[in-house]
Chains A and B, each alone.
Chain A
Amino acid sequence: MKSVRRLLLALAIGLLIVPAASRADDAPDPYSGLASQSFEDIAQAITTLAASGNPQAAPTIAALQNETLFVTPDQALLIKTDDGYTNARTGEKVADVVEDDLANVRVNNAVRRAIEAASGALDLVSPDPATRLRAAAQVFTSRDPTSLPLLGAALAKETNAQVRTALLQAQAAAQLASNAGSEADQLSAVATLLARGDIEAKSLLGSLHDNPQAVLAKATAAIASIERMERLWSLAQGLFYGLSLGSVLLLAAAGLAITFGVMGVINMAHGEMVMLGAYTTYVVQSAIAAAAPGLMGFSLMFAVPAAFLVSGLIGVLIERTLIRFLYGRPLETLLATWGLSLVLQQAVRTIFGSSNRDVTTPGWMSGSDAVMGLTITYNRLYIIAFAVVVIGLLMAVLRYTALGLRMRAVTQNRRMASAMGIRTPWIDALTFGLGSGVAGMAGVALSQIDNVSPNLGQSYIIDSFMVVVFGGVGNLWGTVVSALTLGIVNKFLEPFAGAVLGKIVVLVALILFIQRKPRGMFPLKGRAVEQ
C-alpha cells in the first residue's frame, strides 16, 4: 500500500515537471490555475488553456463542462471517465484514487462563460457542421476577441452556407464588442448584425460605446430598424402565445365539455382526472427508465393511451359508484364530486408524496426555433398539434362511431333511446369514461408545462368550467372557439394589464357576457335544451 502511494506521488510529481519542462515558453501553467479556489483564476486558466493548443485542452474543458474534472488534495487534476480516472494533463490512466479526497473544480457563471467561449473556439474547426454551427453561436454570445484569428481560419475553409453565415455573425460580434478592425470592417459588421436582426443582435448593438462615431451612429439606426421589425412581429408572436394558451385550455376543458357539456354532470373532480393523467405519465416514464431506457424519447407516446385508460377507467368507476345515484340533483353532484376531488388529491399525496414529481421532457420537445421574427417553443407547438388531434378524434368518435351515436341519442332523448333498446346506464358510464379519459390525455400534455403535483387539477378546474360555459354548454365547437378566444384575449391583455389584472379583466368581461347571453356563444337550440 505504502509503495503504491509512493509510486503515485512520484508519478504526480513527474507529471507536474514533465509538461512544464517540455514547453519552451515560460507562460504560467494553466492547469495550476484550474486547481485554484478563485473563480477568476479558473476562468483565466480556461482561456489560456484553450489558446495554448495543448491536445489535452479539449478533453479537459469538456470534463469541466460535464462536472467530471476533479482536484486532488495535492493539486493534481483528474478526469473521471466510465472506467476510472485519467490525468487531465497527460490523458494517462491513474489508478488508486481516493474518491473522498477529490473535489470538483469550482464552477460558477463566470467560469461557465469562459468554458463556453473556449469550447466554442475549439469546436470551430470540428469536422461536424452541426458542432461548428453551435460553436459559432457560442462565440457569438461570448464575443471573445481572442477567437478572432480562429474565426478567420475557420471562415477561410468553411463551405457550408449556414455555418458560414453564423461564423460571419460571430466574427462581427467579436469585432464590434472588442472594437477591433478598421472602421469599414466594423460598419460591415453592423450590417451583418442588422441582417441577423434578432434580440441578441440588438442587445450587442446596444452595448457598444467605445467604437468610432460612424459605427455607433449606424448601430443606433440598426437598433431602430430591428425594433420596428420587432413591433411588427410581436403581433404574430402574441397570436402564437394566445393559441398555445388556448390549446392548453382547450385540452383541459375538452373532457369537461363531454361530462358537463353533453351529460350535464357538474364534475368538480374533473381536474383530478387531469392530474391522474399527469401522474400516469410519471409512472410510465419511471417504468420505461427502469425497463427500456432506450425508449425514453417515445415515453409520451406510451403515456397518452395509458393516461386515457387510467383516467377513463377511474371515470367509469366513479360514474357507476357515485354519480349515477345523483342524476338530476346538481347540488348534491357538485358537493359529492368536490369531496371526491379532495379524496383523490390526498390519495395521490399519500402514494406519491407531496412534492412535485419530475417528468422529463423528451429532447425533441425542448428548445425553440426562431422562424423569421417569431420564437416558436417546441413544447408549445406540439401541444397545439396534440390539442388539434385530440379534438379531431373526439369529434370523430361522437360523429362517426356507434358509441358516439348512442351517446348523442341518450343525451338528446333518454327515454326514446331507451325505448330503441340502448342500455342507457352503460352509455352514461362510457360517456363519463370518455370525458375522463380525454382529461387524462390532457394531463400528459400539462405534465410537460406545469407541475406534476396533487394540486395540478385544481388550477385548471375553474378555467375549464369557464371555457365550457362561455362556449355554450353541449357544443364541442363552441368549446374550441371559446378556449382559443380566451387564450388570445388573455395573452393580448397581459402585456398591458399585467398577469393579475389581465385575469380579472377577462373574468369581468366573461361575467358581463354571460349576463347578456346566459347560454354562451353557441347555445344549443331545440327541445332537448328545455328539458
Chain B
Amino acid sequence: MSTVRSWLRGAGIAATALAAFLGSAGLGASQAQAQGTIKVGILHSLSGTMAISETTLKDVMLMLIEEQNKKGGLLGKKLEAVVVDPASNWPLFAEKAKELINVDHVAAVFGCWTSVSRKSVLPVFKETDNILFYPVQYEGEESERNVFYTGAAPNQQAIPAVDYLMANDKVKRWVLAGTDYVYPRTTNKILEAYLKSKGVAAEDIMINYTPFGHSDWQNIVAEIKKFGSAGKKTAVVSTINGDANVPFYKELGNQGIKATDIPVVAFSVGEEELAGIDTKPLVGHLAAWNYFESVKSPVNTAFIKTWHDFTKKPNRTTNDPMEAAYIGFNMWIKAVQKAGTVDQDKVIDALVGVAVPNLTGGLSTMMPNHHITKPVLIGEVKADGQFNVVWSTPGTVVANEWSPYLEGSKDLIADWRAPMSCGNFNVKTGKCGGAN
C-alpha cells in the first residue's frame, strides 16, 4: 500500500490518492481513466508447478497489450499491464486477484489455468463485480456473470475427438486415463455417459486415475496394452495433465505401443508440452484442440511472427490457450469500444454477441452463456513436434457449459442477457438456481 501511496503522491494527484486510501473497488475504473492509462491485470503463475504452462500466457498478454498500444491504445488511453505471481498456490490466487482489483484498480483480469485456481478467485470477482477472462479448456458445469470462458467446454474438445476415433479408426474399446482432479474426473464422467449412449458396453471402458506428476507408468501402460488385446480396436482418451505426460508417452514408446495399434488422444498436450519430448515414437498420437500452430491462415502466420518478434525467440511455439487469450483480449477491446467505457457492468453486457477473428481463419462469438464458439480440430503428432490437422468441424461449435450427458446438469442452461440473467436456469422447474 505504501508504495502505491508514494507513487501516487509522486504523480501529484492528491484526489486519486485520497480515493486509493479508501480502497474502494467501485471507483477503480474511473480512477484508472483519470490517470491516463487503463490497467489490465494478468494473473498467471510465474513460479511453482504451473509456471511451465502459465508463463507463456503472461508473455502473450504482454505482447497483445503492447500491440494494442502501438495501434493507439483503447479509448484514447494507453493500456498498462499489471503482472502478479500467484505462484501455483490456489489461495494466493484469490489474494492476488483482490490486490489487482482493490489496489491496482484494473479494468479486467486475464488469468488462471487450473480449475481449482478459477474456483478460488470466483468469490473475489463476484464481490467486486470485476471481469475475469479464463483462457483454458475446462470441464464445464459452470457459468458465472463475471467470468468469460474462452477455452473449450467438453463438447468443443472431448466429444468431437471421441466421435472422430469412432468414425475413422472404428474404435470399440476405450481407456479413459486422467490425472486425479476435477477436470479429468468431470470430463471422464461426461465421456463415459456419452460412450454408453453410443452403445459402448461398460466392460469396454476402462477408467484410470493417477496422481499429479505420476512418473512410473510401467504397469498402467502394460494394463492398457492388455486391455487393448481383447480383439477390439482400442484407443486411449487422455486427460493426463502437465508433467505426467512425458513419462507416460516415453513408456508407451518403450513398450512398443504405436499410434497405429492403440492411438492416444490427449486434451492437455499441445505444442508446448511436446517441446520437452523426443516426438519420434509418438508420431500419429492425437490431440484435440481448437487451434494448432500448424494451422495455415494469414492471421495465424501474422500472430506467430509477432510472437517470435516479441519474445525474440524464433522457435518458440504457440498453442491453444494462447489463441484463447488472444480471442479473449480482442473481445474485451471490442466490447469496451462498443460500450465506450471500461465500466465493468456495461462491458459485461456489451461482451455478449461480440465476434472477433480466431486464428484458424474464422470468427468466434461470445455467446450469452459467456462461452465462445470455436472450431474443433483433431491433430496427429508429427516427428517435428508439431501437429498435422487430420480433421476439423465444418463450422464453429457452440459450447454446452452444462453437459446434456450428466444427470445433474442436463436440464440447466445459462443466459446472462436480461431478463433471464442466470448461469444455471433449470428448464424443468423454470427457476434459476441449479438442479434442485
Using a CB–CB cutoff of 8 Å, the interface residues on chain A facing chain B are 39, 67, 104, 106-110, 112-113, 116, 141, 199-200, 202-208, 230, 237-238, 241, 244-245, 248, 342, 345-346, 349, 354-358, 360-361, 366-368, 375, 377-380, 449-455, 458-459, 491, 494-495, 498-500, 503
Known: A112-B259, A356-B276, A361-B250. A203 touches B231 (CB 8 A): yes
CB-based contact A455/B213 at 8 Å: yes
Contacts of B214 in A (CB 8 A): 499
CB-based contact A108/B275 at 8 Å: no
Q: A503 vs B284: C-alpha distance in the bound complex, in angstroms?
A: 33
CB-based contact A453/B278 at 8 Å: no
CB-based contact A368/B260 at 8 Å: no
CB-based contact B52/A203 at 8 Å: no
Q: Could you list 18 further interchain pairs (A-B, Cβ under 8 angstroms) beyond the known A248-B216, A455-B213, A499-B209?
A: A67-B382, A106-B388, A109-B259, A109-B380, A141-B260, A199-B226, A202-B229, A245-B218, A345-B47, A355-B276, A361-B278, A367-B256, A375-B222, A377-B218, A378-B254, A450-B215, A495-B219, A499-B220
CB-based contact B250/A449 at 8 Å: yes
Q: Distance in Å from the Cβ of A442 to the closest Cβ of chain B?
A: 13
B230 within 8 A of A: yes
CB-based contact B215/A358 at 8 Å: no
Q: List B267-285 residues whose CB lies under 8 Å from chain A.
A: 272-273, 275-278, 281, 283-284
Of A112, A449, A499, the contact of B260 (CB 8 Å cutoff): A112
Contacts of A499 in B (CB 8 A): 208-211, 214, 220
Q: Distance in Å from the Cβ of A367 to the closest Cβ of chain B?
A: 6
Q: A352 vs B231: C-alpha distance in the bound complex, in angstroms?
A: 46
Contacts of A204 in B (CB 8 A): 231
Known: A109-B380, A203-B230, A450-B246. A358 touches B277 (CB 8 A): yes
Q: Distance in Å from the Cβ of A59 to the closest Cβ of chain B?
A: 19
CB-based contact A449/B272 at 8 Å: no
B169 within 8 A of A: yes
| B residues contacting the other copy or chain, number (CB 8 A) | 57
> Does more than half of chain A's interface fall in helix, strand or loop, or is it mixed?
helix
Contacts of A503 in B (CB 8 A): 211
Contacts of A378 in B (CB 8 A): 254
Known: A207-B232, A356-B276, A358-B277. A494 touches B246 (CB 8 A): no
Closest to A207 in B: B231
Q: A47 vs B258: C-alpha distance in the bound complex, in angstroms?
A: 20
Contacts of A356 in B (CB 8 A): 52, 243, 246, 273, 275-277
Q: List B235-258 residues whose CB lies under 8 Å from chain A.
A: 243, 246-247, 250-251, 253-256
Best-surrounded residue of B49, B218, B232, B388 (most CB of chain A within 10 A): B218
Encode B42-57 as 1/0 by CB contact (under 8 A) with A. Answer: 0000011101100110
Closest 8 CB pairs of A and B: A356-B276, A206-B231, A207-B231, A203-B229, A377-B254, A499-B210, A108-B390, A199-B229
Closest to A241 in B: B218
Q: Distance in Å from the Cβ of B168 to the closest Cβ of chain A?
A: 7
Q: A355 vs B277: C-alpha distance in the bound complex, in angstroms?
A: 11
Q: Distance in Å from the Cβ of A241 to the closest Cβ of chain B?
A: 5
Q: List B14-33 residues whose CB lies under 8 Å from chain A.
A: none
CB-based contact A237/B222 at 8 Å: yes
Can you report 21 A-B residue pairs in the complex whose CB atoms are below 8 A from each other?
A: A106-B390, A109-B263, A110-B169, A112-B284, A200-B229, A203-B230, A207-B232, A238-B219, A356-B275, A366-B254, A368-B256, A378-B254, A380-B254, A449-B247, A451-B215, A451-B243, A455-B49, A459-B213, A494-B219, A494-B220, A498-B209
